[in-house]
Amino acid sequence: MKMKNNIPLYLSGLVFIIVLSLWLFAEKLGLTTTEYTITLFRNDLKDLAGLFYIVITLWLVLVTRNMAETSINSQKAMNRPEILCELFISNEKPVSSMFTGIKNIEIRSSTDAEYIDNQDGASVFVIIKNRYGGGKAIDISLKTEFEAKNPDNLKLERSINIDFLAEGDAVAFYIYRFGKPSIENCFLKLPTCEMRFTNPFSEASNEPLKKLLYNNENPILANGNHIGLITLRDGIRISE
């Protein structure tokens, strides 16, 4: 790629040498006559050289633009957030050491369900994490529609907005608690979970928000010490 970008420079140098040689040695090379004098020849040579350098200038503009686009795309790739969602079902409070790829985690509740620590049962969280290896995620929104039985049938609609997640940060979004979890009387399934987000580079370029969708075709990964105490159905998986 570097060699290709230097082609206009090499051509410019070569043309300069050729033009200088013709300029100095036109008569010795037999390029002039009594009617086509050295002055006329040199005027024509200047015109031809001028046209060539116009072409070279346009070429350089295109090469510079392509290099700038490549640089921007590289920056976007380097700063693309490594963001995903997981399901956490446990009687323990989620802490960063329980998850891979993060260093900080914050617990958040919704207006429909407030997390209370040290309660019996199986608490359900959606873990939104921005793993190491990417950039900052901004304008994050999550909407979930869980269905559950405990033992009554329930529809659990939850949503959250997050201003940003730095690399290695996560949010544990509290969804629900099964007070007395059991395989026979409790189940949980996820018809849909949609997350949208962007990053500063994409926002500056007015690119649309990125979207992650979890459902029966793309089930969300579940972990935690109580995943075996509840029947997990459509939209949820328990292994990579």
Q: What is the 3-state secondary structure (H, E, C) of 181-194?
A: CCCCCCEEEEEEEE
User: What is the pLDDT at residue 96?
Assistant: 94
User: What is the pLDDT at residue 121?
Assistant: 92
Q: State how far the Cα of 43 lies from the Cα of 33, in Å rounded to an integer.
A: 15
- Write the pLDDT tens digit of every residue in 155-177: 999 999 999 999 999 999 999 99
Does residue 212 have a pLDDT over 80? yes
User: What is the pLDDT at residue 53?
Assistant: 74
The average pLDDT across 196-215 equals: 90
pLDDT-derived band at 133 (thresholds 50, 70, 90) equals confident
**End-to-end CA separation in angstroms for the chain:** 39
Nearest to 5 by CA among 48, 52, 69, 51: 69
The average pLDDT across 231-236 equals: 95
Does residue 71 have a pLDDT over 90? no
User: What is the pLDDT at residue 23?
Assistant: 65
Does residue 88 have a pLDDT over 70? yes
Residue 69: CB partners within 8 Å, gap ≥ 6?
Answer: none
Phi, psi of 29 (to 5 degrees): -85, 0
C-alpha pair distances (Å), 37 with each of 9, 19, 26, 48, 83: 32, 17, 10, 17, 73
User: What is the pLDDT at residue 4?
Assistant: 54
Buried b (16+ CB within 10 A) or exposed e, 115-127: beeeeebbbbbbb
Query: What is the Cα 130 distance to its own chain's centre?
Result: 11
Nearest to 129 by CA among 89, 98, 172: 172
The length of the chain is 240
User: What is the pLDDT at residue 58?
Assistant: 78
Residue 141: CB partners within 8 Å, gap ≥ 6?
Answer: 159, 160, 161, 162, 195, 196, 197
pLDDT-derived band at 7 (thresholds 50, 70, 90) equals low
- Write the pLDDT tens digit of every residue in 26-55: 667 777 776 777 777 777 777 777 777 777
Q: State how far the Cα of 65 lies from the Cα of 103, in Å rounded to an integer.
A: 39
User: What is the pLDDT at residue 155?
Assistant: 95
**Mean of the per-residue pLDDT values of the chain:** 85
The average pLDDT across 72-81 equals: 68
Q: What angle do CA 80, 124, 182 make, to 5 degrees?
A: 145
**Amino acid (one-letter) located at 40:** L
Question: What share of the chain has pLDDT > 90, as a percent?
Answer: 54
| pTM of the predicted protein model | 0.71
User: What is the pLDDT at residue 64?
Assistant: 76
